[in-house]
Amino acid sequence: MRPAPARPESASPAQTPAPTLSAPAILRAGETCGRIAHAPRAAALIDGADYFLRLEQALKAARRSVLILGWDFDHRIRLRPDDPKGLALSAFLRGLVEARPELEIRVLVWSVAVLHAPSEPTQLLLGAGWEKHPRISVKLDSFHPIYAAHHQKIVCVDDALAFVGGMDLTVRRWDRRPHAPDDPLRLSPEGAPYRAIHDAQMVVDGEAARAVAQIARARWRRATGERAELVTMQNPAHDLLPDDLEPDFTDVLVGVARTAPAGPGESEVREAEALTRACLRAAQRCVYIEAQYMTCAFVGALLAQALRRPDGPDVFVLMTRESRGLAERLVMGRNRDRLMRRLKRADPYDRLRVCYPVVSGEPVMVHSKLIIVDDVFVRIGSSNLNNRSMGLDTECDLAIEARDARTRAAIADLRRRLIAEHLGASPLEVEAQESASGGSMTRALEALNEAGKAGTGLRCFEAMTAPGPTRPVFGTRLLDPARPFEPFWLLRRRKRP
């Protein structure tokens, strides 16, 4: 990464007034999210080790219900590979229902996971011994359009605590900072090492958790035809959030945004798209993005507009260096590179950086789906910035928009924690460098990256400087569609009861 040239005075973020905190502009119920619900507490869980630890703690406290929705699921994983006594997920879940006579566990997995996902397919197709319990139900969800995926990653515990984000309970998801290439605990169930991976999940309680549970139970009903009523705990003091987890946010409103394709008797839902558009349009000072894919034309257009403004925001995008599989490389990888080139050509003030992280010279896979804007808005969920996440796949995201200085400070702290992780620095170092750089996120990134450890930090994609095409790859509408192929979908399914 090269030092940023001086910008015009009008382009300095330090000169841009802070957004008004008392007038939310992004979260709008019925438009950019389906519902805005109160959460007494919420926390961002960064990387699989943090998420799986907190999930295990919450599951141990479950009394009545555990509902798991996933793109993939593998019962062989261990939530705590750092614990020598840690059980496989199957044994752990089976032990929970045997110890609690009122507890029911439901697992719903995208049906095509048996062909497409990294889990072991036999257990999803034929079942496994741990499932043979009257209060455990594992189902495949085939209630979707052709070529669509059920991409939500949700776990609801007693309908009072909900985890939403980018992580499935499957293989190759657990990792811990600093993402060392030779971490001895980062192993598949077969004992094979896999590459480092960075991801994010959010946990919420209160009405926000109940709003997520309503979405999860509605999907269970559509997929299976079985009604699963919301749990009402007799003891309102039943607390599922781990005692040692310090929430990032307290007393906040959380927007719950979805994507769902149209089906028989059901209109499409494109709240995630509307939320993405709204937050990028609102950006004044900085946009921080972590994404597995970024190919949406409207995302490129909105970022380009912001970059062209003399007083526009800094834009930093963190992505995976290389997509998996031939189709992903041909469509997601090439379209990502072409969008990068379009953005670079729209960046006269050199405020754009698109990078991938490396640790000890080895790239870290970025699987998170996260956006932070102006330190007043954060979104964490399952939605990628590709076409299919906007109208074809099912998605669920949680978002918080600051209405007070305390929440804004928490969002700023989260952004700095993320930057610090990728640079091998501390959040305080990031904050100090931003102050020394006149409030510029990208200048601070440049300075810290230059001073970082050898082989660890951020690397720019070659497409940022190399010549090449900018138009989307031929066949994008077929391989990364924004809507279902309606004629096939309408012939496939009857409306669920």
Q: Give tens-digit pLDDT for 193-245.
A: 999 999 999 999 999 999 999 999 999 999 999 988 888 766 555 689 988 99
CB-count exposure of residue 450 (10 Å: 0-12, 13-18, 19+): exposed
| 239 torsion bin: left (phi>0), alpha (psi -120 to 50), beta (else) | beta
For residue 93, what is the DSSP state?
A: H
434: pLDDT strictly greater than 70 = yes
Mean pLDDT, residues 185-200: 97
More confident residue, 178 or 266: 178
Would you state the pLDDT for residue 488? 52
pLDDT at 6 > cutoff 70: no
Go through 68-81 and write b for each residue having 16 or more CB atoms within 10 A of its CB, e for each that does not.
Answer: bbbbbbbbbbbbbb
pLDDT at 3: 42
By the 8 A CB rule, do 36 and 26 touch? no
Question: Which pLDDT value is given to residue 494?
Answer: 47
All residues at 6 or more sequence positions from 36 whose CB lies less than 8 Å from its CB, including other chains: 27, 29, 253, 254, 255, 256
- What would you measure as the largest C-alpha separation in the chain, in angstroms? 68
DSSP bridge pairs for 256: 35, 398
Determine the average pLDDT of the residues in 456-483. Answer: 83
How many other C-beta atoms can be found within 10 angstroms of the C-beta atom of residue 437?
Answer: 21
CA-to-CA distance for 160 and 234, rounded, in angstroms? Answer: 12
pLDDT in tens, 386-419: 999 999 999 999 999 999 999 999 999 999 999 9
302-340 pLDDT, tens per residue? 999 999 999 999 999 999 998 776 667 677 888 899 999
The pLDDT of residue 12:
42
- Per-residue pLDDT tens over the stretch 35-61: 999 999 999 999 999 999 999 999 999
The answer to whether residues 484 and 146 touch, using CB atoms and an 8 Å cutoff, is yes
- Of residues 493 and 261, the one with the higher pLDDT is 261
Taken in order of first residue, the domains within the chain and their CATH numbers are 41-244 (3.30.870.10), 265-479 (3.30.870.10)
pLDDT confidence tier of residue 8, bands split at 50, 70 and 90: very low
Task: Let me know: does 379 contact 371? Beta carbons within 8 Å.
Answer: yes
